[in-house]
Structure 1
Amino acid sequence: MNKLLLLLLVSCAACTSQAQGPVRAQVKGETSISTAPATTLADIRRQIGTPTCSDNAQCRTLPVGAMACGGPQEYLPYSTQKSDANALRALSERSYAETKAALTASGMVSTCMLKADPGAVCVAGTCQLGTGSPAN
Protein backbone atom coordinates (compact mmCIF):
# COMPACT_ATOMS: atom_id res chain seq x y z
CA MET A 1 0.00 0.00 0.00
CA ASN A 2 2.87 2.39 0.84
CA LYS A 3 4.51 1.70 -2.52
CA LEU A 4 1.23 2.42 -4.32
CA LEU A 5 0.84 5.72 -2.46
CA LEU A 6 4.45 6.66 -3.24
CA LEU A 7 3.92 5.85 -6.94
CA LEU A 8 0.77 7.99 -6.99
CA LEU A 9 2.55 10.94 -5.34
CA VAL A 10 5.54 10.71 -7.69
CA SER A 11 3.22 10.48 -10.69
CA CYS A 12 1.29 13.56 -9.59
CA ALA A 13 4.51 15.48 -8.98
CA ALA A 14 5.79 14.52 -12.43
CA CYS A 15 2.57 15.71 -14.07
CA THR A 16 2.79 19.14 -12.48
CA SER A 17 6.55 19.51 -12.84
CA GLN A 18 8.04 22.09 -15.19
CA ALA A 19 10.94 19.71 -15.88
CA GLN A 20 12.44 19.63 -19.36
CA GLY A 21 12.64 15.84 -19.48
CA PRO A 22 10.96 12.83 -17.97
CA VAL A 23 10.81 12.65 -14.18
CA ARG A 24 10.64 9.49 -12.10
CA ALA A 25 11.39 8.10 -8.70
CA GLN A 26 14.65 6.22 -8.76
CA VAL A 27 14.76 2.84 -7.07
CA LYS A 28 17.99 1.79 -5.36
CA GLY A 29 20.23 0.01 -7.85
CA GLU A 30 18.58 1.42 -10.96
CA THR A 31 20.19 3.85 -13.37
CA SER A 32 18.48 7.07 -14.39
CA ILE A 33 16.62 7.58 -17.66
CA SER A 34 18.73 8.39 -20.71
CA THR A 35 19.60 12.04 -21.24
CA ALA A 36 18.88 11.75 -24.97
CA PRO A 37 15.61 13.73 -24.71
CA ALA A 38 17.48 16.59 -23.00
CA THR A 39 20.12 16.53 -25.74
CA THR A 40 17.44 16.72 -28.42
CA LEU A 41 15.72 19.56 -26.57
CA ALA A 42 19.02 21.43 -26.49
CA ASP A 43 19.36 20.89 -30.26
CA ILE A 44 15.84 22.25 -30.77
CA ARG A 45 16.52 25.32 -28.64
CA ARG A 46 19.78 25.92 -30.51
CA GLN A 47 17.96 25.69 -33.88
CA ILE A 48 15.27 28.12 -32.70
CA GLY A 49 17.71 30.59 -31.16
CA THR A 50 16.00 33.94 -30.64
CA PRO A 51 12.79 33.65 -32.69
CA THR A 52 12.79 37.13 -34.23
CA CYS A 53 9.79 38.28 -36.22
CA SER A 54 8.18 41.31 -37.78
CA ASP A 55 4.68 39.82 -38.18
CA ASN A 56 2.46 37.20 -36.51
CA ALA A 57 2.51 35.16 -39.75
CA GLN A 58 6.19 34.35 -39.11
CA CYS A 59 5.49 32.74 -35.71
CA ARG A 60 4.71 29.06 -35.21
CA THR A 61 4.68 26.57 -32.36
CA LEU A 62 6.65 23.35 -32.16
CA PRO A 63 5.42 20.43 -30.05
CA VAL A 64 8.25 19.03 -27.92
CA GLY A 65 8.58 15.88 -25.85
CA ALA A 66 5.75 13.53 -24.95
CA MET A 67 3.26 12.95 -22.18
CA ALA A 68 2.66 9.41 -20.88
CA CYS A 69 -0.88 9.33 -22.31
CA GLY A 70 0.11 11.00 -25.59
CA GLY A 71 0.48 14.52 -26.87
CA PRO A 72 3.42 16.88 -26.44
CA GLN A 73 5.01 17.78 -23.13
CA GLU A 74 5.25 21.44 -24.12
CA TYR A 75 5.24 23.85 -27.05
CA LEU A 76 8.03 26.19 -28.07
CA PRO A 77 7.60 29.27 -30.26
CA TYR A 78 9.81 29.64 -33.34
CA SER A 79 10.14 32.00 -36.27
CA THR A 80 9.88 30.94 -39.91
CA GLN A 81 12.05 33.95 -40.68
CA LYS A 82 14.96 32.44 -38.75
CA SER A 83 14.40 28.66 -38.45
CA ASP A 84 14.06 25.76 -40.89
CA ALA A 85 10.58 24.38 -40.20
CA ASN A 86 11.38 20.96 -41.72
CA ALA A 87 14.51 20.54 -39.58
CA LEU A 88 12.57 21.56 -36.47
CA ARG A 89 9.75 19.11 -37.29
CA ALA A 90 12.31 16.30 -37.57
CA LEU A 91 13.82 17.24 -34.20
CA SER A 92 10.31 17.46 -32.71
CA GLU A 93 9.52 13.93 -33.91
CA ARG A 94 12.83 12.67 -32.50
CA SER A 95 12.07 14.40 -29.18
CA TYR A 96 8.63 12.75 -29.07
CA ALA A 97 10.02 9.28 -29.84
CA GLU A 98 12.88 9.54 -27.32
CA THR A 99 10.68 10.88 -24.53
CA LYS A 100 7.94 8.33 -25.22
CA ALA A 101 10.51 5.50 -25.09
CA ALA A 102 11.92 6.83 -21.80
CA LEU A 103 8.41 7.10 -20.35
CA THR A 104 7.55 3.57 -21.44
CA ALA A 105 10.79 2.19 -20.01
CA SER A 106 10.21 3.97 -16.70
CA GLY A 107 6.55 3.00 -16.37
CA MET A 108 5.64 6.69 -15.95
CA VAL A 109 1.93 7.52 -15.83
CA SER A 110 0.13 10.83 -16.05
CA THR A 111 -3.27 12.40 -15.57
CA CYS A 112 -3.85 12.18 -19.34
CA MET A 113 -4.63 15.89 -19.62
CA LEU A 114 -3.59 16.96 -23.11
CA LYS A 115 -2.00 20.37 -23.55
CA ALA A 116 -3.62 22.54 -26.19
CA ASP A 117 -1.43 24.30 -28.73
CA PRO A 118 -1.32 27.92 -27.50
CA GLY A 119 -0.27 29.28 -30.88
CA ALA A 120 2.44 31.89 -31.26
CA VAL A 121 2.37 35.64 -31.78
CA CYS A 122 4.94 38.29 -32.61
CA VAL A 123 5.43 40.59 -29.62
CA ALA A 124 8.10 43.29 -29.67
CA GLY A 125 9.94 41.54 -32.52
CA THR A 126 10.03 38.08 -30.90
CA CYS A 127 7.75 35.06 -31.35
CA GLN A 128 6.10 34.15 -28.05
CA LEU A 129 3.54 31.57 -27.02
CA GLY A 130 -0.02 32.82 -27.38
CA THR A 131 -2.92 32.17 -25.10
CA GLY A 132 -5.34 30.20 -27.21
CA SER A 133 -5.96 29.35 -30.82
CA PRO A 134 -2.91 28.15 -32.73
CA ALA A 135 -1.39 30.56 -35.24
CA ASN A 136 0.00 27.72 -37.37
Structure 2
Amino acid sequence: MANLHSASVSAASHAIRESVPHILERLGIPVAGLVSDSRKAMPGVIFAAYPGEARDGRDFIAQAVAQRVDGVLWEADHYQWDPALGIPNAGVVGLKTRIGEIAAHVYGEPSRALHMVGITGTNG
Protein backbone atom coordinates (compact mmCIF):
# COMPACT_ATOMS: atom_id res chain seq x y z
CA MET A 1 0.00 0.00 0.00
CA ALA A 2 1.38 3.41 -0.96
CA ASN A 3 2.02 6.04 1.66
CA LEU A 4 -0.27 8.88 0.62
CA HIS A 5 1.43 11.33 2.96
CA SER A 6 4.81 10.97 1.27
CA ALA A 7 3.75 12.60 -1.99
CA SER A 8 4.64 16.25 -2.23
CA VAL A 9 2.13 17.91 -4.51
CA SER A 10 1.25 21.59 -4.66
CA ALA A 11 -2.23 22.71 -3.68
CA ALA A 12 -2.61 24.25 -7.12
CA SER A 13 -2.44 20.88 -8.85
CA HIS A 14 -5.34 19.58 -6.74
CA ALA A 15 -7.49 22.71 -6.84
CA ILE A 16 -11.02 22.28 -8.10
CA ARG A 17 -11.69 24.54 -11.08
CA GLU A 18 -13.85 27.26 -9.62
CA SER A 19 -16.58 28.84 -11.75
CA VAL A 20 -16.12 32.47 -12.79
CA PRO A 21 -19.35 33.60 -11.10
CA HIS A 22 -18.16 31.99 -7.87
CA ILE A 23 -14.77 33.71 -8.11
CA LEU A 24 -16.47 37.09 -8.54
CA GLU A 25 -18.98 36.35 -5.75
CA ARG A 26 -16.05 35.89 -3.35
CA LEU A 27 -15.20 39.56 -3.88
CA GLY A 28 -18.58 40.45 -2.39
CA ILE A 29 -18.95 43.55 -4.59
CA PRO A 30 -20.35 44.25 -8.06
CA VAL A 31 -17.69 44.07 -10.77
CA ALA A 32 -18.09 46.58 -13.62
CA GLY A 33 -14.55 46.64 -15.03
CA LEU A 34 -11.27 44.77 -14.92
CA VAL A 35 -7.66 45.92 -15.48
CA SER A 36 -4.32 44.16 -15.20
CA ASP A 37 -2.18 47.27 -15.73
CA SER A 38 -1.78 49.14 -12.44
CA ARG A 39 -1.33 52.40 -14.37
CA LYS A 40 -4.97 52.06 -15.46
CA ALA A 41 -6.22 51.27 -11.96
CA MET A 42 -9.02 53.57 -10.79
CA PRO A 43 -12.26 53.52 -8.82
CA GLY A 44 -14.90 51.32 -10.40
CA VAL A 45 -12.59 48.52 -11.56
CA ILE A 46 -11.05 45.36 -10.19
CA PHE A 47 -7.28 44.96 -10.45
CA ALA A 48 -6.12 41.53 -11.67
CA ALA A 49 -2.62 40.80 -10.38
CA TYR A 50 -0.59 37.88 -11.70
CA PRO A 51 2.98 37.17 -12.84
CA GLY A 52 3.74 38.38 -16.36
CA GLU A 53 6.65 38.03 -18.76
CA ALA A 54 8.77 40.84 -17.27
CA ARG A 55 7.10 41.78 -13.96
CA ASP A 56 4.79 40.29 -11.36
CA GLY A 57 1.52 42.22 -11.20
CA ARG A 58 1.18 41.28 -7.54
CA ASP A 59 4.07 43.68 -6.85
CA PHE A 60 1.71 46.50 -7.87
CA ILE A 61 -1.28 45.61 -5.69
CA ALA A 62 -0.51 48.34 -3.13
CA GLN A 63 -0.26 50.91 -5.95
CA ALA A 64 -3.62 49.80 -7.37
CA VAL A 65 -5.20 49.98 -3.91
CA ALA A 66 -3.78 53.50 -3.47
CA GLN A 67 -5.46 54.39 -6.77
CA ARG A 68 -8.75 53.24 -5.20
CA VAL A 69 -9.66 50.15 -7.20
CA ASP A 70 -12.81 48.45 -5.92
CA GLY A 71 -11.10 45.09 -5.35
CA VAL A 72 -8.28 42.77 -6.37
CA LEU A 73 -8.13 39.34 -7.98
CA TRP A 74 -4.67 37.87 -7.40
CA GLU A 75 -2.73 34.76 -8.42
CA ALA A 76 -2.86 32.55 -5.35
CA ASP A 77 0.12 30.31 -6.11
CA HIS A 78 3.17 31.29 -4.04
CA TYR A 79 1.58 34.44 -2.63
CA GLN A 80 0.22 35.53 0.73
CA TRP A 81 -2.41 38.28 0.76
CA ASP A 82 -1.79 41.21 3.13
CA PRO A 83 -5.06 41.74 5.07
CA ALA A 84 -3.85 45.22 6.07
CA LEU A 85 -4.72 46.35 2.52
CA GLY A 86 -8.35 46.30 3.66
CA ILE A 87 -9.96 45.82 0.26
CA PRO A 88 -12.21 43.10 -1.20
CA ASN A 89 -10.01 40.44 -2.77
CA ALA A 90 -9.97 36.88 -4.01
CA GLY A 91 -7.02 34.61 -4.69
CA VAL A 92 -7.36 32.54 -7.86
CA VAL A 93 -5.12 29.61 -8.75
CA GLY A 94 -4.07 29.96 -12.40
CA LEU A 95 -5.40 33.52 -12.73
CA LYS A 96 -3.23 34.29 -15.77
CA THR A 97 -4.78 31.42 -17.72
CA ARG A 98 -8.32 32.34 -16.61
CA ILE A 99 -8.25 36.12 -17.03
CA GLY A 100 -9.80 36.02 -20.51
CA GLU A 101 -12.67 33.90 -19.24
CA ILE A 102 -13.17 36.25 -16.28
CA ALA A 103 -13.05 39.37 -18.48
CA ALA A 104 -15.57 37.84 -20.89
CA HIS A 105 -17.96 37.28 -17.98
CA VAL A 106 -17.44 40.78 -16.56
CA TYR A 107 -18.06 42.44 -19.93
CA GLY A 108 -21.12 40.35 -20.84
CA GLU A 109 -19.60 37.75 -23.19
CA PRO A 110 -19.04 40.17 -26.11
CA SER A 111 -17.54 37.51 -28.39
CA ARG A 112 -20.94 35.82 -28.62
CA ALA A 113 -22.11 38.73 -30.79
CA LEU A 114 -19.26 38.34 -33.29
CA HIS A 115 -19.80 36.74 -36.67
CA MET A 116 -17.08 34.84 -38.48
CA VAL A 117 -16.50 34.90 -42.22
CA GLY A 118 -14.04 32.61 -43.96
CA ILE A 119 -12.73 33.02 -47.49
CA THR A 120 -10.86 30.21 -49.13
CA GLY A 121 -9.24 29.82 -52.49
CA THR A 122 -6.53 27.98 -54.34
CA ASN A 123 -3.77 29.95 -52.60
CA GLY A 124 -5.28 30.13 -49.16
TM superposition score normalised by structure 1: 0.25
Larger radius of gyration: 2
Higher relative contact order (CA 8 A, sep 6+): 1
TM superposition score normalised by structure 2: 0.27
